[in-house]
Amino acid sequence: MTPGAGRSTFQLKFFFAAISAAIIALAVAGALFATSMRRQMDQRIEDTLVVEARLAADLLAASTAQTTVPALDAEADRIGELIGARVTLIAADGRVVGDSFETLDGVAAMENHGRRPEVVEAGATGLGRSRRFSDTIKLDMEYVAVPARHPAVAFVRVALPLTNVRHQLQTVLTATLTALGLALVGGAIIAWVFSARIGQRVRLIAGVAERYQRGDLTPPRLGFGDDELGTVARALDASVQEVGRRLEEQARDRTRMEAILAGMVEGVIVVDAQGRLQLVNDAARHML
């Protein structure tokens, strides 16, 4: 592998490591935000439906004179228009006597609602909630039912199509994903700039190391920086410069010794502990 390829690989590895960490962090943050937002929206919508159901019951209590199915259905239509939700009026025996989403004929054809989960819970605790698919309008719905204070109506139920909830959630998630995408682009730019700067410093240190390897111990003219990478580079450079100085001293000592031995008339032969020849002056060469 060429030095340039190695340097590029280091910079790319650093960049991809940084961007991968950013992607993971943003993905986790996005997932947590989406989950939290969904829960908050569900809770807020449910709380709103509870308030609307109680308001509908209060409005109905003011119309106790209306006891016929046509009059009650018209009242359900009026209340539903006021609160912006589906309103269903249920008699004590479970019959539907009014529904803001149905015509009068449709109301007559509706199934008995006495065993619907939200109605049963409202009869037992005063407040019933349920989320399920509506066979009447063929949509997933959020239901809230409360007891009514009316001679012909036992329960008032309000409902909201979950398609509305999902649309609101989708809008929020789209905005969130857009923001996360922009953050990722910004993070990628910052990661590339920093990886390029660090890569440049690594290339500088690698270039100095290559010069040392070739035997050029000239000190670098550029600084290494004040962080940990610079500290390591300065320590290595100081070690190499110290080795260079010692080698120069040894070379000078050897040159000085050779000059002294060359001027001697006596023959001098220097061998090491294993008997290998290390140095011979001119006088010894003439003798041999």
141, 169, 197 — which closes off a domain? 169
Q: Which domain holds residue 141?
A: 25-169
123, 142, 169 — which closes off a domain? 169
Token pair for 141: 């719905």
Nearest to 45 by CA among 137, 175, 123, 159: 159
Residue 112 confidence (pLDDT)? 94
Q: Would 117 be classed as within a structural domain?
A: yes
116, 146, 169 — which closes off a domain? 169
Residues 6+ apart with CB under 8 A from 74: 66, 98
Residue 225 confidence (pLDDT)? 65
| pLDDT above 70 as % of the chain | 85
- Among 29-38, 73-82, 215-224, top mean pLDDT goes to 73-82
Q: Would 103 be classed as within a structural domain?
A: yes
The greatest distance separating any two alpha carbons of the chain, rounded to the nearest whole angstrom, comes to: 144
Evaluate whether 199 touches 14 at the Cβ level (below 8 Å): yes
Among 3-12, 72-81, 150-159, the least confident range: 3-12
Residue 7: pLDDT over 50: no
Distance separating alpha carbons of residues 63 and 235, to the nearest angstrom: 91
- The pLDDT-based confidence of 29 (bands split at 50, 70, 90) is confident
Distance separating alpha carbons of residues 81 and 68, to the nearest angstrom: 20
Residue 224 confidence (pLDDT)? 62
Residue 239 confidence (pLDDT)? 76
- The pLDDT-based confidence of 223 (bands split at 50, 70, 90) is low
Q: Would 89 be classed as within a structural domain?
A: yes
- The string of DSSP codes covering 172-219 is HHHHHHHHHHHHHHHHHHHHHHHHHHHHHHHHHHHHHHHHHHTT--PP
Task: Dump pLDDT digits (tens) for 166-185.
Answer: 777 788 888 888 888 888 88
Residue 220: pLDDT over 70: no
Pair 263, 157 in one domain: no
Task: Dump pLDDT digits (tens) for 245-257.
Answer: 787 787 787 777 7
Pair 37, 155 in one domain: yes
Q: Is the pTM of this model over 0.75?
A: no
What CATH number did the domain enclosing 151 receive? Answer: 3.30.450.20
Pair 269, 138 in one domain: no
Residue 161: pLDDT over 70: yes
Beta-sheet strands, E only, within the chain: 86-90, 96-99, 128-134, 139-147, 155-161, 269-271, 277-280
139: number of CA atoms within 13 Å, CB side?
14
Nearest to 278 by CA among 257, 260, 264: 257
Residue 2 confidence (pLDDT)? 47
Q: Would 262 be classed as within a structural domain?
A: yes
Q: Would 197 be classed as within a structural domain?
A: no
Residue 155 confidence (pLDDT)? 97
Query: Is 91 or 30 the better-scoring residue by pLDDT?
Result: 91
Q: Would 224 be classed as within a structural domain?
A: no
Residue 6: pLDDT over 50: no
Q: Would 277 be classed as within a structural domain?
A: yes
Q: Would 69 be classed as within a structural domain?
A: yes
* First CA to last CA distance, the chain: 52
- When divided into structural domains, the chain yields a total of 2
Residue 1: pLDDT over 50: no
- The pLDDT-based confidence of 43 (bands split at 50, 70, 90) is confident
The chain-wide mean pLDDT, for the chain, equals 82
Task: Dump pLDDT digits (tens) for 80-109.
Answer: 999 989 999 999 999 999 999 999 999 999
